[in-house]
Structure 1
Amino acid sequence: MSKSGFDPKAVMREAQSFVKAGKLEDARQAALRVIQRFPLNEEAHLLLSKIYFNCDQDEDAIAHLQKAFSISHKMVIDSKAYYTILNRFVTRKSYALLEQASRWLVNLRPKDGIAWDYLSIAYLEQQKYEAAYDAASHAAKILPNNPHVLNNLACSLTSLERCAESLEILQRTVALAPDMATAYNNLGNAYRFLGRYEEAIESFSKAIKLAPEMAYLYNNLGLTYRSLDRCESAIEVYQQALQIQPDLHQVYPNLIEAYRHAGQIRQAIDCSNSALQLNDQIPEIWAAYGDALRDGGYLDAAIETYIQAVSFRTDEHSTFNRKVYTNILFCLNYHPDLSAEVIFNAYREFDQRFAIQLKDKWLPFSNDKTPGRKLKIGYVCQSFYNQVCKYFLIPLLEKHDRSQVEIFAYAQIPFEDEVTGHYKKIVDHWIPIRSMTDDEAAERIRADGIDILIDVSGHTNSNRLMIFAQKPAPVSLHWLEYGYTTGLSAVDYFMTDSPSVTDDCDHLFSEKIWRLDGPAYVYRPDTRLAVLNDSPVSQTGIVTFGSLSRTTRINHRVVRIWAAILDAMPNSRLVINSGDFKDPLVQDEMASRFMQYGIERSRLDIGFSSPSWEVLKRIDIGLDCFPHNSGTTLLETLYMGIPFVTLQDRPPVGRIGSSVLMGMGRPEWIATTEEEYAQKAIILAHDVDGLIQMRKTMRQEMEASMLMNEDAFARSVEKAYRQMWQIYCEKGAA
């Protein structure tokens, strides 16, 4: 007993009895009386910690527990009580508190592997992946055979896109703990990120068998199915996840995406609205909603939704915000009412927000500046598989003069197929970069000594423009896919042709415009499927107009002119066919827009069928969209003997049709006003004999044109590369 007559041991016995009786407030007051007189009483601090813990006052609990540990005179501190609170933070998803509490413990006990493991969990859940890896590495050094520690280490590596390293650790983890569902889940994620989808499905399936109650396992399996374009399977397992855990909000964006890719646009929009009613604070749901609205043709609503999605992130430079901003740029490209200058300003803003900060990674080059030497050419592309780019990219790569250029393919592909195998054969070096970070890929390109680096993807999904933002090669350029500027000040050239970008349009690009001698591309069709047939009008007497374009291109301006053409040609009909029109509700919505102009539904054939060649057999005259023209389908249209009318609009996406027709030698089908566009379509429709004759002769005409002269195109491109290189050698910069 102290001199004052206060006996702390007796008071603590009383406090403990209050705890047993369930009188926690009385126990708390008793322990506080002890601390008031004896601030370093370890037992009182421990009891207060337990009381606050039971009362869900976690911050007070951790404060008293830390105080108890700090004043302990014991050689070995019992951390179980502390671990109990850390577990509570994990259960409650209080990851900021978990970080604070576990960081305190590792500072006190730097050789406590479990404490480091908790710290890695805190960082992982807050998406602080570098810090998570550092903490997990400390834990693994102390507990090298602990499967939970190894699992978290692997998870941090996967999150850093270091999947090859993660895979090795996870294979060891499941060997140590064959009943550990979370390890199989992480193994599945590593396989998925590496594009090994069948192995990923096997791993996720094992995880689900071990823990069928864990909803997120079904979500990850769904992501794998989606990567294989097995949308219906993905939808099924996403719905299973939500049946188990309806508030698993991360599933909703994935389910929305699966509906969208399955062609169920209306279902995707409805699912978005339902998800936002449950929780409107999840940015990924807003982003997925924007995608659904975009594919439904609601561009203004999509842009507003994307802006809402990026408003949640305090770090405006985040990868998520960058990807969503790319989608905003995509919508702006298709917008029917905005000026080219307004749209280009958005691209410049992208550079300022996301790319210019990487300028400190621009390094001097050691490439030999001999102007005439053999050049190392690198193509960065996500389309090295059975995708439409093959019709343009394969002929160039095959026809490249290997005495002049050495070809490196930096492949950002989601999976490999038989076309991938062909690409591997026709390049000199095949370098998969899907599992590489931007820094790692840029370093590899520098190490390979690439002289000229070509971005083939632009602002398409899964692009690697941030590699180009680091300027890993002396000369860089964009060509082919996407069709407009990258907006990056780090990219030197935009390679195109004169019809696509006339001399008065250079100010609408961040890159210098490089115009090839001939067309901007060469086309090699899939002749196995493109069987010619007679013009439909010769069989039915009815002229059929048609477009194989997506909803985003068919805006109010296009509908008005197409309706005017149909109105002027009562004996005609219109085919609209693309993957966006799988959904009957989307078909009806599009038809209603024509019906507002008095066009009967029976004159409209709206839907989706494949392959495109079969659809084209039903069409006499192609109608291009504007202000964003169609793409590959224009070339397919000509190859099937079908003329098309195009409107020259803002460059270059509004001049794709002009580029194709100039390369074909048919400038008479290019219009400069909407009225002229309608007139040209009607004139073609009245020349039935001409349509019948062109059906028979146009393919031969196209094969003789520059559009299909592969050797000439390859020489034109190589000449451009050589001249770009000579400029660099002379000036030290492109």
Structure 2
Amino acid sequence: MSKRKRRNGTASKPNRQVRADQLESLANDFLIHYRAKQLDTAVPLAREITERYPRASFGWKALGTALMESGDAQGAVAQLEHALELQPDNNETLTNLGKALQQLGRYEEAEARLNQALEQDADNYQANMHLAGIHQQRGRHDRALEHYERSLESLPDAVLAKMRKASLMVERRDYDQALAILEPLAEQHPKAVGVLTNLANLYGTMGRFDEAEARYRRAIDLQPDAWLAFSNYYFTAHYNPRHEPDTLFAIGRQWQQRYAPTVRPERPATDRSAARPLRIGLVSAGLKTHPVGQMILGALEHLPKGQFHLYAYSDSLVDDATARRLKPLMEQWHEVPHTSHPDLARMIRDDAIDILIDMTGHTSGSRLPVIAEEPAPLIVKWVGGLFNTTGVEAVDYLLSDVVETPQGSDDHYLEKLIRLPDDYICYTPPRHLTDDPGPLPALENGSITLGCFNNPAKINEVLLEQWATLMHQLPGSRLLLKGGQYTNADYCDRLYWVMEEHGINRERILLEGPAPHKELVATYRRVDIALDPWPYSGGLTTCEALYMGVPVVTLPGPSFAGRHSATHLVNAGLPELVAGDWEEYRQRVIELASDLESLGRIRQHLRQVLLQSPVCDGPRFAHHLTIALRGIWQRHCEGKAPQTLTFDKEGKAWFKGEQKPVQLPESDFPEDGFQWRFEGKIIAMDNGSRLLNSEVVGQMLQRGTMELIAFDPASRALQAPLKKQEGVHYYPNATLGDGAPGTLYACQDPEQSGTLMPLQDEYLPEGVKNGNRLLTRLPISTVSLNKIEGLPSLDWLVLDAMNDSVCILEHGGDRLCNTLLLQVRVVFQPTHDRQPNLAEVSHWATRHGFRFYRLNDPQHCSLLPCDVSPEERQATELYSADALFLPSHERLQELTPAQCTKLAFLLHTAFGIRDMAYRLLLNEDQQLAEQYLISQGLVSMLDNQLPAESPAVSPKEEETIADELDRLLNNDF
């Protein structure tokens, strides 16, 4: 027995050695192919090792690593995890697993594995580099810098680590450090395309345009397929004041010639039904608090439900307030920083996107190689790196307007232009911007402060010369500039030198570094007039200046990039601030600076002017965007090639060469099988014109489901955009009442003006005291509800708290007997004489077939002093609220099915009330009520329950009700 054992043991040694030799030979073969980047042969060799030697961790590590490097990160993870099971402490396997997880976007798991690797070996170059990259993507700059430094400690001459560290320094706006890294690196590696491109980017940021362009061209010559270097070159050229429109167009169109596929890819075919819901893909690195996010949010939030399914392909991992508002609007949200261009193109095709919208262009996070693969039937360019033509023939349309792309500019675009009737964007101010504009700084300073908070790369010697001339014409004026580059001493000295060459002392120039966004915007409280740069104008910066009450003067530049401010100003109703030449530019500024009283009034009202203009009108923009997207889709379904689409100011759109405007087909767009169904329109009457500022009401008007009669006793809504909307009958300086001539009490705060006498009481809430001061009494016309003839119905009555609601109700009982909803503002801390309280209104309602339902939109006042910050000002005392009254239980039983649906629609749409909406629908149709629950995600789809086909709301033509009101107002008084 013992001999047998010895014999077997003796024989096994050579066998193990043979197997070890064979494994070593296979491993060497693998390494030869792997190091030569011959992954198509390296992968089969690694797989052979795992099959022949399944207990050898090397084979699994080799297979996982080769799969990862060949682009199959998903397949790599399982192999690397198995290698770790066999050898848990293998540092290289941990690192590669972290890299594979990072490629898949599984960042938390990737961090964990990379940190494990660094626990074993703190000098692991690869682990430090990849962990730094994750931290940098997530905005953790300090932690990213720590790992880049460790990488360079282990490999001091690593070019990639130095480049990445320099890019981080640029993000941190530490330009001196970035230059100190990149300039020596470019001298040491004069043929390194990445180094040249990064240095060119930095030179462009610092305003050294000629040096930047020279290095871009050098990089492109060295590596003809360096499309990203070319995109950066094209973008930076728009900052350079010496380039004419023809030059810029000539550069742009080279992208197609150089980098697009030689043979145009075949586009996927999706269902060519013109009337179905469309899948819209959004490719962007800016779906966050970023110019892109802030310029699209208002539009996307108001797109008609059911018509579009939005798919986001986000190159950002930031999850901020704007991203959190965008995500619920999406059918799917893909985070794709880790996704290769071919994989992203496949993903878009697999999602069967109908219209793909690029919102990055040639800027950071560019996905133009994906766009050039033409992964959707139609491709559109919108915000985000939209500074000129993309130069990519795959892009069919470019969303613009008549200011950005005036008639006659079409030849400078490869795309067909969609000229929207207003601005090409819709600005949504972030909710954290709560500071008011404050008083005009010049009144305290005794001199004008000019300001420009645009990217300092937009400031050049041509512009500075014009600003210097302007400052000579405004003695004592100062120029406040704020931005990241002003932390660089050389940059500041160069700017001071240019201004001093033109006779402006540096003491008059205030240069400040970057600040958090809220603080940056608050700095406009120190600025009287904003100066727009040239030839690349401001966009978001202009909107923010107007929001803070600061007028902006602009001279349009030679390209789309130079006309952003012009379109925002024109569409905000400020075309006089758009100059035709430099002399007019300076004259506009001097005119504003010469009348401080007028400039102060502008400051106090400019925010409201902006917010009530088309620049911020989400429902209006969404309506026009819907027409544009459905119009180009309908044209595609008809087999017609893309063509220029132009809107008129009434919102009608014509394709070039067509005799008739776009007529969208009648169609159903159900929400998960549910569709509101009723005939006619909801007739609403609003005394106080509060509804004219409601986004929901704007949507209802656009969809033709409402007709609104708005009385505006104090004429507060003269600038409200909805008053011109079709279906609105607007009557300023008139009010509901008893039909007799009345008195309007005009107060210092227009919001406190009405037909009720303001109280002068020391116990009034702090926010009301000053505004409640009576300025004058004015005569006003009143209309009795009972006397209005020709009013087909009145479904919704809204009454404010500044006018005599009890008088209105007492003279409207006959007209209100079939009304579905009363909304009456009641106060709990009176500010006006005879202001109705809840008991009085409830008493009237009970006598006339209504019941109290709930309080809505409660407002509280704070008892803390005004100098307590808004975030800390607790407000506990109930000041006012809307009392909602529904038909009594007896009347509800008598409502027709159509009335039940109308009331349900009103409660759902205007107030988000779903339980009562369901109960009302249940009175009409159980299946419809169940479909409603499913559409709201309140219950799951039942087995075998198919959504019923429901026609969309189709309001029938109603007789106009304006004539009778005009007669009452014009003839009776």
TM-score (norm 1): 0.79
Aligned to 2:300: 397
Aligned to 1:22: none
Is 2:184 the counterpart of 1:184? no
Alignment check: 8 A CA contact 2:294 2:322 kept: no
Please state how far the C-alpha of 1:710 moved relative to its aligned partner: 0.7
Structure 1 residues 323-472: aligned runs within 5 Å: 323-357=228-262, 359=264, 361-363=265-267, 365=269, 367-417=270-320, 419-472=322-375
Aligned to 1:673: 581
Aligned to 1:155: 65
**Which secondary structure does the structure 2 equivalent of 1:515 belong to?**
strand
Query: Within 2, Cα distance between the matches of 1:562 and 1:409?
Result: 42
TM-superposition CA deviations, 1:225-277 (whole Å, max 9, x none): 32223334333432333333222222111121122111111221121122234
Q: How many residues align?
A: 624
**Which secondary structure does the structure 1 equivalent of 2:313 belong to?**
strand
Is 2:107 the counterpart of 1:203? no
Please state how far the C-alpha of 1:168 moved relative to its aligned partner: 3.6
Query: Within 2, Cα distance between the matches of 1:358 and 1:414?
Result: 34
Alignment check: 8 A CA contact 1:410 1:432 kept: yes
TM-superposition CA deviations, 1:549-585 (whole Å, max 9, x none): 1122111111111122122212211111122333344
Please state how far the C-alpha of 1:621 moved relative to its aligned partner: 0.7
Opposite residue 348 of structure 1, the aligned amino acid is R
Query: Within 2, Cα distance between the matches of 1:631 and 1:139?
Result: 59
Aligned to 1:599: 504
Q: Is the alpha carbon distance of 1:430 and 1:227 closer, same or farther for their aligned partners in structure 2, counting shifts above 3 Å?
A: closer
Aligned to 2:534: 626
Aligned to 2:395: 491
Opposite residue 537 of structure 1, the aligned amino acid is A
Q: Is the alpha carbon distance of 1:198 and 1:432 closer, same or farther for their aligned partners in structure 2, counting shifts above 3 Å?
A: closer
Moved more, 543-552 or 417-426: 417-426
Query: Within 2, Cα distance between the matches of 1:129 and 1:346?
Result: 37
Q: Is the alpha carbon distance of 1:574 and 1:700 closer, same or farther for their aligned partners in structure 2, counting shifts above 3 Å?
A: same
Opposite residue 147 of structure 1, the aligned amino acid is S
Kindly, what percent of the aligned residue pairs are identical? 26
Aligned to 1:283: 193
Is 2:211 the counterpart of 1:301? yes
Query: Within 1, Cα distance between the matches of 2:104 and 2:413?
Result: 35
Alignment check: 8 A CA contact 2:123 2:153 kept: no
TM-superposition CA deviations, 1:194-223 (whole Å, max 9, x none): 444454443333223323344444333332
Alignment check: 8 A CA contact 2:371 2:394 kept: yes
Alignment check: 8 A CA contact 1:197 1:228 kept: no
Which residue of 265, 268, 281 corresponds with 2:178? Answer: 268
Q: Is the alpha carbon distance of 1:294 and 1:142 closer, same or farther for their aligned partners in structure 2, counting shifts above 3 Å?
A: farther
Opposite residue 200 of structure 2, the aligned amino acid is G
TM-superposition CA deviations, 1:579-599 (whole Å, max 9, x none): 233334433333333222222
Moved more, 604-613 or 697-706: 604-613
Q: Compute the RMSD of aligned alpha carbons.
A: 2.7
Opposite residue 148 of structure 1, the aligned amino acid is F
Aligned to 1:52: none
Aligned to 2:523: 615
Q: Is the alpha carbon distance of 1:527 and 1:412 closer, same or farther for their aligned partners in structure 2, counting shifts above 3 Å?
A: closer
Q: Which has the higher contact order (CA 8 A, sep 6+)?
A: 1
Query: Within 2, Cα distance between the matches of 1:434 and 1:337?
Result: 35
Opposite residue 385 of structure 1, the aligned amino acid is K
Query: Within 1, Cα distance between the matches of 2:417 and 2:163?
Result: 38
Which residue of 711, 722, 728 corresponds with 2:619? Answer: 711
Q: Is the alpha carbon distance of 1:209 and 1:77 closer, same or farther for their aligned partners in structure 2, counting shifts above 3 Å?
A: closer
Alignment check: 8 A CA contact 1:544 1:620 kept: yes
Aligned to 1:46: none
Moved more, 290-299 or 184-193: 184-193
Is 2:412 the counterpart of 1:504? no
Query: Within 2, Cα distance between the matches of 1:522 and 1:439?
Result: 32
Aligned to 2:227: 322
Moved more, 113-122 or 653-662: 113-122
Moved more, 420-429 or 633-642: 420-429
Opposite residue 423 of structure 2, the aligned amino acid is P
Query: Within 1, Cα distance between the matches of 2:262 and 2:136?
Result: 33
**Which secondary structure does the structure 1 equivalent of 2:475 belong to?**
coil
Structure 1 residues 110-149: aligned runs within 5 Å: 113-124=26-37, 133=43, 136-137=46-47, 139-144=49-54, 146-149=56-59
**Which secondary structure does the structure 1 equivalent of 2:260 belong to?**
helix
Query: Within 1, Cα distance between the matches of 2:107 and 2:16?
Result: 48
Query: Within 2, Cα distance between the matches of 1:81 and 1:307?
Result: 52
Please state how far the C-alpha of 1:623 moved relative to its aligned partner: 0.7
Alignment check: 8 A CA contact 1:113 1:140 kept: no
Q: Is the alpha carbon distance of 1:364 and 1:289 closer, same or farther for their aligned partners in structure 2, counting shifts above 3 Å?
A: closer
Opposite residue 283 of structure 2, the aligned amino acid is V
Q: Is the alpha carbon distance of 1:655 and 1:177 closer, same or farther for their aligned partners in structure 2, counting shifts above 3 Å?
A: same
Opposite residue 609 of structure 2, the aligned amino acid is E
Is 2:497 the counterpart of 1:579? no
TM-superposition CA deviations, 1:343-386 (whole Å, max 9, x none): 22222111121113362x32451x23232332222212222233
Q: Is the alpha carbon distance of 1:412 and 1:139 closer, same or farther for their aligned partners in structure 2, counting shifts above 3 Å?
A: farther
Alignment check: 8 A CA contact 1:272 1:289 kept: yes
Structure 1, unaligned runs of 5 or more: 1-74, 85-111
Is 2:468 the counterpart of 1:558? no
**Which secondary structure does the structure 1 equivalent of 2:261 belong to?**
helix
Please state how far the C-alpha of 1:133 moved relative to its aligned partner: 4.7
Q: Is the alpha carbon distance of 1:584 and 1:443 closer, same or farther for their aligned partners in structure 2, counting shifts above 3 Å?
A: same
Aligned to 2:376: 473
TM-superposition CA deviations, 1:707-731 (whole Å, max 9, x none): 1111010010010011101211222
Alignment check: 8 A CA contact 1:120 1:152 kept: no
Alignment check: 8 A CA contact 1:151 1:170 kept: yes
Alignment check: 8 A CA contact 2:216 2:230 kept: yes
**Which secondary structure does the structure 1 equivalent of 2:281 belong to?**
strand
Query: Within 1, Cα distance between the matches of 2:43 and 2:561?
Result: 44
Please state how far the C-alpha of 1:422 moved relative to its aligned partner: 3.1
Q: Is the alpha carbon distance of 1:175 and 1:590 closer, same or farther for their aligned partners in structure 2, counting shifts above 3 Å?
A: farther
Aligned to 2:563: 655
Structure 2, unaligned runs of 5 or more: 1-14, 643-973
Is 2:137 the counterpart of 1:227? yes
Query: Within 2, Cα distance between the matches of 1:495 and 1:241?
Result: 45
Please state how far the C-alpha of 1:482 moved relative to its aligned partner: 1.0
Query: Within 2, Cα distance between the matches of 1:718 and 1:146?
Result: 60
Query: Within 2, Cα distance between the matches of 1:142 and 1:246?
Result: 40
Q: Is the alpha carbon distance of 1:120 and 1:709 closer, same or farther for their aligned partners in structure 2, counting shifts above 3 Å?
A: same
Please state how far the C-alpha of 1:619 moved relative to its aligned partner: 0.9
Alignment check: 8 A CA contact 1:641 1:695 kept: yes
Q: Which structure has the highest strand share of the two? A: 2
Moved more, 407-416 or 469-478: 407-416
Moved more, 392-401 or 271-280: 271-280
Q: Is the alpha carbon distance of 1:146 and 1:295 closer, same or farther for their aligned partners in structure 2, counting shifts above 3 Å?
A: farther
Q: Is the alpha carbon distance of 1:185 and 1:668 closer, same or farther for their aligned partners in structure 2, counting shifts above 3 Å?
A: same
**Which secondary structure does the structure 2 equivalent of 1:504 belong to?**
coil
TM-score (norm 2): 0.61
Query: Within 2, Cα distance between the matches of 1:165 and 1:732?
Result: 43
Q: Is the alpha carbon distance of 1:393 and 1:159 closer, same or farther for their aligned partners in structure 2, counting shifts above 3 Å?
A: farther
Opposite residue 161 of structure 2, the aligned amino acid is V
Which residue of 447, 450, 471 corresponds with 1:545? Answer: 450
Please state how far the C-alpha of 1:543 moved relative to its aligned partner: 0.8
Query: Within 2, Cα distance between the matches of 1:596 and 1:197?
Result: 52
